[in-house]
Chain A
Amino acid sequence: MIGLASDNLLGTVFGVYLARAKDEEIRRRKVASGGAVTALLTYALEKGIVDGVVAAKRTKGLEGQAVVAHNKKELLEAAGNKWSIVPFATRMKAKIEEENLKKVALVCLPCQAQFFAQMRDFPLLESDFGERIKYIVSLFCMGTFAFNAFLNYLRMKYNIKAEQIRDIHLKKDFLEIVYNGTKLDLPIEEVYSYLQTGCLVCTDYTGIWSDISAGFVESEPGWTVLMARNPKAEELIKSAEKEGYLELKEGSHVVGEILKKAREKLARAQQNMSYLL
């Protein structure tokens, strides 16, 4: 049996902001919430703070593939959410080494942030590339889909075929499936069993190992919540605002909302662990 500690659920938090892209072009794109992640990383690339950004680009269907973006155009192509886990690790290493990138920012989910941060803090292997990772940006995460199973469910229950689906958005507590010019709202509860089993025991909602965590809250639609976890991250966010890339508001009033979600995820994990393990 695994017993979980419930303290320190959000990890170290240096500053919390509500942010969105200043650039209309970014906001017009299908960004996930306020487009702040895309805007922040555009800033880092254009000012030479990083020399590459690893993000996930939609390939066929709704899944993603790890890509390295070098400029705003390439970052825009990767904006928005991908609902599966993007098996980064191996491909990313090859890419970073091929292009000899030395200062990389990467966008990932909390589990991946944990892996990369541990690699950076504790390089166990000669082949590790942690010293090349400058910023780890973690998205908040409630889980990723076992994709084949999820698509099959949509087909059987709603007669929606994979190739008809244009997009999937995470709204309050439902998923909005955009297909064939219409929309279907699926309560999150209904699709829980199509999340990966591993996600059902995952305890990290915000990505406590990241430098910057990004997500959204219901009470501030159109904004991305950015959590800076160290002075270096704080400085990046602040200077992106100063240079006109980000619109920024103080966000400490939404911490309660985030904490509530994090508690829900922990409770889900504890419950699932009790019968899975």
Chain B
Amino acid sequence: MEKLKVLHVDIGSCEGCNVSILRALPKIQEFVDLDMKYLAKKTCARDKYDMVIITGGVCMNEPHIIEKVKSLREKTSTIVAFGSCATFGGILRFCRGGQEPRPDHRNFQPINSVVKVDYSIPGCPPTPQMVQSFFKFFVAGDKKRLKLFKVYADIKKLSGFDLIDDIVLTGLCIGCGACELSCPTQAIEMIDRRPNLIAEKCIRCGTCYVRCPRASQMLSMGGRK
């Protein structure tokens, strides 16, 4: 079988997501031909790729980044936004400019604010095993398992605030505790069988929402966010 030709492009991540992809490399090399700057390859060498993975959010104050993302869309039929910054804006949403070395960077948005994204993989960062699973199911064409990642691709913002608004305040929470377990910053605490959000701790990664069975069931059944 021919290997999947994949290009990785970083448009301003903290490197956490990139390291995750690198760590997965030994396990995916068998079926993925990855073009990545860390691998001392000439990246972007091809005209067309089977898939382009983007890490980091789009700085809206950098026109050349916006152009670059748009040009990547031309190169492939499948864009994957990898990591919470790329999918939902993540922690980059807190950026308000005025910081060295680039005080002019004031506003970051997820990739799908600029171009259509095909799959979004949230997580800050998603684990190397996640990269492995994703490719495994992608190569196998397992639509059922990839469905949620397709659904997330159309969502621009997802966080603990949305979880509280959409699931808890609507009374739909069943008190399973999955969100508490899934929050990487312990921003969620179960109180009287319902999650409570400690707002300052939430880095807007969206993991809790994605892991909430009530929310993910509704989304995978065709619900809209």
Contact = CB atoms under 8 A, between A and B. Distances in A.
Nearest to B218: A2
A156 interface: no
Measured as residues with beta carbon below 8 angstroms from the partner, the interface class of chain A is: 35 or more
Given A111-B174, A115-B178, A124-B207, A204 B123 contact: no
B127 A89 contact: no
Contacts of A203: 217, 221
Contacts of B182: 89, 124-125
B216 A114 contact: yes
A90 B178 CA distance: 7
A121 interface: yes
A230 B108 CA distance: 44
Nearest to B132: A123
B175 A196 contact: yes
Nearest to B183: A125
Contact of A125 (B127, B176, B223): B127
Nearest to B137: A121
A196 B174 contact: yes
Interface in B176-225: 176-178, 180-182, 184, 190, 193, 207, 210-214, 216-218, 221-224
Given A111-B213, A201-B172, A201-B214, 12 more contacts: A3-B222, A4-B223, A87-B175, A90-B180, A115-B178, A118-B211, A126-B127, A197-B171, A202-B217, A276-B171, A276-B172, A277-B170
Interface of B: 121-123, 126-127, 129-130, 133-134, 137, 145, 148, 167, 170-178, 180-182, 184, 190, 193, 207, 210-214, 216-218, 221-224
